[in-house]
């Protein structure tokens, strides 16, 4: 589950979220041919969340699968891939299922669906091969959190990811049932059922639902690695179709290792105005940092997700060629940030 990262020079691509044309543009900016080859022998690494929300998830996965098969790329598992492996319908991944739940709800109408069961099986088989993390002496890559206890636990396990996820989830739910937390959370859920999915509703912090969600997250190291450290929120917020009671935590403030880490997942906004316009309501972990700065106690953690997953919202507002959200890559060891529109900057220490 923790594999060896390629040697040599790398281009580490942030969350793509089905934005195939943005990916093509970024690879061209980075100097790759249409076949994924680089004249200087550089190779690609994808931080996960290849799919969902954008219009062309199948095309993105096919391309990355081909590049991985030719040893031109590596990819780690993101939380969106984990959802597919676990056959879990979520907002934005209807393209993968026989019954496209997004289309049924009038969402993501431009998303291309898979053709048939055979194609779904191919996708699932590929995703099942992806590691949770990649590492070498100078660099570590994972989707959301290089959380030491979770990573250490992962190293000793070879069980299939979906099977392991279900076991960990069942164990947590059994403990919650035994302590009465499940019953208390269910009571809150029934009382607020009509408002929990209404973005215009006024919803208080429902502590038992929050404690339940925190337990399901933090007692499952697969979830911690692919979607981060989460704790009970101070105030609820609306995100991805429902009101949420847990906040993401800046785990990098506690990261003390010398080895640098690159992640995706966290919706780093290219500008404050864009964040205010399209944010899903979650806590902004980068509110006081420039987009091209390192984070953490040792200034050696960088997030390369620049919110291309919100591009569907830009289209809903009339944008089809000029987008403000970005797809980005980190060039290593140059420590250079490259956007699909050609903008570049050096990643610097936080002031």
The answer to the question of residue 186 being in a domain is: no
Residues 177, 178, 181, 186: what is their CA dihedral angle, to the nearest 10 degrees?
Answer: 30
The answer to the question of residue 269 being in a domain is: yes
Give the separation between CA 147 and CA 324, rounded to whole angstroms.
Answer: 31
The answer to the question of residue 214 being in a domain is: no
* Nearest C-alpha neighbor of 312 from the set 60, 6, 21, 18: 18
The answer to the question of residue 40 being in a domain is: yes
Give the separation between CA 260 and CA 294, rounded to whole angstroms.
Answer: 10
Give the separation between CA 111 and CA 132, rounded to whole angstroms.
Answer: 27
The answer to the question of residue 18 being in a domain is: yes
The answer to the question of residue 44 being in a domain is: yes
In three-state secondary structure terms, 253 is helix
The count of domains in the chain is: 1
**CB of 183 within 8 A of CB of 234?**
no
Which domain range does residue 305 map to? 2-159+248-346
pLDDT tens sequence across 278-306: 876 677 889 888 899 999 999 999 999 99
- Residue 99 is encoded by which pair of tokens? 């019954």
pLDDT tens sequence across 318-347: 888 889 999 999 999 999 999 999 999 999
As a whole number, the mean pLDDT across the chain is: 94
The confidence score (pLDDT) of residue 321 equals 82
The confidence score (pLDDT) of residue 61 equals 97
Q: Which residues in the chain show pLDDT less than 70?
A: 280-281, 350-351
The answer to the question of residue 220 being in a domain is: no
The answer to the question of residue 329 being in a domain is: yes
Please state the pTM of the whole predicted model.
0.94
Q: Where are the alpha helices (DSSP H) in the chain?
A: 20-29, 57-69, 79-85, 101-104, 117-127, 148-155, 161-179, 181-191, 207-218, 221-227, 272-278, 311-316
Contacts 24+ apart (CB under 8 A), 102-108: 108/53, 108/55, 108/312
CATH number for the domain spanning 313: value is 3.60.21.10
């Amino acid at each position: 589950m923790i594999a060896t990262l390629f040697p040599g020079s790398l281009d580490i691509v942030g969350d793509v979220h089905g934005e195939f044309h943005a990916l093509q543009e970024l690879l061209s900016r980075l100097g790759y041919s249409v076949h994924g080859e680089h004249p200087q022998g550089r190779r690609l690494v994808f931080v996960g969340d290849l799919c969902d929300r954008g219009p062309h998830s199948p095309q993105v996965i096919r391309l990355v699968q081909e590049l991985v098969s030719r040893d031109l790329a590596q990819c780690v598992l993101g939380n969106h891939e984990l959802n597919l492996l676990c056959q879990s319908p979520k907002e934005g991944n209807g393209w993968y299922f026989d019954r496209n739940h997004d289309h049924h709800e009038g969402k993501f109408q431009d998303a291309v669906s898979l053709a048939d069961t055979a194609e779904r099986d191919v996708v699932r088989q590929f995703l099942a091969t992806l590691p949770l993390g990649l590492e070498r002496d100078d660099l570590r890559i994972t989707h959301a959190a290089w959380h030491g206890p979770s990573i250490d636990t992962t190293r000793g396990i070879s069980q299939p990811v979906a099977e392991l996820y279900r076991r960990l989830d069942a164990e947590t739910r059994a403990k919650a049932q035994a302590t009465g937390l499940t019953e208390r959370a269910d009571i809150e859920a029934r009382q607020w059922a009509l408002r929990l999915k209404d973005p215009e509703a006024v919803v208080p912090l429902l502590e038992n639902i929050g404690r339940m969600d925190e337990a399901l997250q933090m007692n499952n190291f697969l979830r911690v690695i692919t979607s981060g450290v989460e704790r009970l929120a101070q105030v609820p917020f609306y995100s991805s179709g429902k009101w949420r009671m847990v906040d993401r935590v800046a785990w990098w403030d506690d990261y003390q290792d010398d080895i640098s880490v690159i992640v995706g997942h966290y919706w780093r906004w290219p500008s404050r105005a864009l964040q205010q316009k399209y944010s899903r309501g979650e806590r902004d972990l980068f509110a006081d940092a420039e987009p091209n700065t390192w984070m953490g106690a040792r200034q050696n953690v960088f997030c390369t997700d620049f919110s291309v997953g919100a591009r569907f919202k830009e289209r809903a507002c009339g944008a089809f060629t000029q987008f403000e959200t970005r797809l980005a890559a980190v060039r290593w060891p140059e420590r250079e940030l490259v956007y699909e529109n050609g903008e570049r900057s050096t990643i610097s220490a936080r002031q």
